[in-house]
Amino acid sequence: MGQTTRLFIAAPIPDALQQYLTEQANRYKSDAIRQVPTENLHLTLYFIGNVPASQLAAIQNVTAHIARQFAPFDLHLEAIEPGPKPRSPRLIWARFKSHDAFAQLSRSLTVALSEEPPLNREPKPHITLARFRKDRPAPHPLESFSPDEPITLRVDEIAVWHSELGSPHPRYSILQRYPLTGNPPDGKTV
């Protein structure tokens, strides 16, 4: 990994959901759109960026500690669509319904791992499926799709990921996984 390493915290995606999302992303075939490879699909919780490799152990310890504070939870797919701004999109994403546990987990990681205070906006649970190329105009019109049947993503673990920049896509690899082992509030299933 060298003297610095590029890291992020994300939940892995099950193979079956990866395949489904890749099939849906294929609806947006265009020279102006660069699809994310299936094996790179993930649910980002916090992007760390480039840090000294010597900080990896501390980042892993913080991530493990936070994972022990949260119980597994389910996210429900709302739409596959251009985003994050519909009028000026820069990517295609699978957008999930807002969820308090996701927002709290994302904020906890951000507060613990960021050198600056987090922005005061609600984290949006999503998986990036494709990005628009900067050297080409975005294709229009771009439709939104809702799943024909309910699609659920069970978030029961998070991981520290390594990102190695490359062309045409970066390569992502999981360095360490951490199960969510906390108790739901009041013993309720989330």
For residue 100, how far is the Cα from the chain centroid? 16
Residue 2 falls inside a structural domain: no
Closest to 144 (Cα-Cα) out of 88, 82, 187: 82
Residue 113 falls inside a structural domain: yes
User: pTM to 2 decimals?
Assistant: 0.88
Residue 43 falls inside a structural domain: yes
Residue 58 falls inside a structural domain: yes
Query: DSSP states of 135-157 as a string?
Result: TSPPPS----B--SS--EEEE-E
pLDDT grade for 186, boundaries at 50, 70 and 90: low
Residue 178 falls inside a structural domain: yes
The CATH number of the domain where 149 resides is what? 3.90.1140.10
pLDDT at 108 over 70: yes
Over residues 99-106, the mean pLDDT reads 96
Over residues 32-53, the mean pLDDT reads 93
Closest to 145 (Cα-Cα) out of 39, 35, 34, 21: 21
State the total domains in the chain: 1
The domain in which residue 119 lies consists of: 31-182
Over residues 157-177, the mean pLDDT reads 90
Residue 18 falls inside a structural domain: no
pLDDT digits (tens, 9 = 90+) for 133-142: 877 777 777 8
pLDDT value for 174: 96
Residue 16 CB neighbour total at 10 angstroms: 8
Amino acid at 146: S
Residue 168 falls inside a structural domain: yes
Residue 72 CB neighbour total at 10 angstroms: 16
